[in-house]
Amino acid sequence: MGPFRGARGVALKFAAGVAASAASALAMAKPVMAHCPLCAAATAGGVAATRFLGVDDAVTGTFIGGFVVSTALWFGTWLKKKRSGRELMPYQSTIFIIASLGLTLLTLYLAKLLGSPDPAYHLFGVDKLLVGTLAGTAVTVGAFALHKWIRKVRGGKSLMPFQGIIVTLLCLAATGAVFYFVTK
């Protein structure tokens, strides 16, 4: 039957499919896009893979937080392009991030994935998924700010292609690793 049997085999096949899709998208991405659907797709792939592989909720929440920010920033960029470079409102990105976070947490709560009274789902008395999501949101905002700072210091140039994506995913992975060892 091979190495891909049962639920774990399905999860591995799914993760491989997500990785192949992300690699294809990366190969075809326009290099001028500052924050693009690829960021959101890569983050969503991380969330899907961790959920299917049974990783702790704090780690999964970290990637959910990254997805929240990536999706909000991508939507804001898309909307700005549709409006000929004008923002819809002042502080548009901040408002979209807060709205995206609120809607995501509401969805998780309504799906009964958030707010369990079971202590196994808590970290320091707070729901692990909530802690991870808030941490992932903060880390992603910080990583994007770091990416912008590096570009500013270098006169508008990145250190490497896809720097924003790489910095964000490395920061999320480091945060996830911390949560993994704290909750182990």
> What pLDDT was estimated at residue 15?
56
Helix (H, G, I), strand (E, B) or coil at 35: coil
pLDDT at 27 over 90: no
Give the end-to-end CA distance of the chain in Å, rounded to a whole number. 32
* C-alpha closest to that of 76 among 101, 96, 91: 96
Residue 180, pLDDT above cutoff 80: yes
Tell whether the model's pLDDT for residue 32 goes beyond 70. Answer: no
pLDDT for res 1: 45
- Which SS3 state, helix, strand or coil, does residue 138 take? helix
In eight-state DSSP terms, residue 140 is H
130 burial class (0-12, 13-18, 19+ CB within 10 angstroms)?
buried
Distances in Å between the Cα of 107 and the Cα atoms of 50, 104, 115 are 18, 5, 12
In whole angstroms, how large is the CA radius of gyration of the chain? 17
The pLDDT score that the predictor gives to residue 54 is 80
Give residue-wise pLDDT tens across range 74-132. 888 888 888 888 888 889 999 999 999 998 888 888 877 788 888 888 998 999 989 99
Contact 137, 65 (CB under 8 A): yes
What is the average per-residue pLDDT within 19-40? 49
Burial class (CB in 10 A: 0-12, 13-18, 19+), 151: middle
Q: Write down the pLDDT at residue 184.
A: 80
For residue 127, report the phi and psi dihedrals to the nearest 5 degrees: -55, 130
DSSP 3-state of 127: strand
Q: The pTM is what?
A: 0.71
Give tens-digit pLDDT for 127-162: 998 999 999 999 999 999 999 999 999 999 989 999
In angstroms, rounded to a whole number, what is the distance separating the alpha carbons of residues 44 and 63?
Answer: 8
- Assign 33 a pLDDT band (cuts: 50, 70, 90): very low
Residue-wise pLDDT tens digits, 45-78: 666 677 688 888 899 899 889 989 988 998 888 8
State what percent of residues in the chain have pLDDT above 70: 73
SS3 assignment, position 123: strand
pLDDT at 172 over 60: yes
Query: CA-to-CA distance for 158 and 164, rounded, in angstroms?
Result: 9
Query: Where in the chain are the domains?
Result: 36-183
Higher pLDDT residue, 95 or 29? Answer: 95
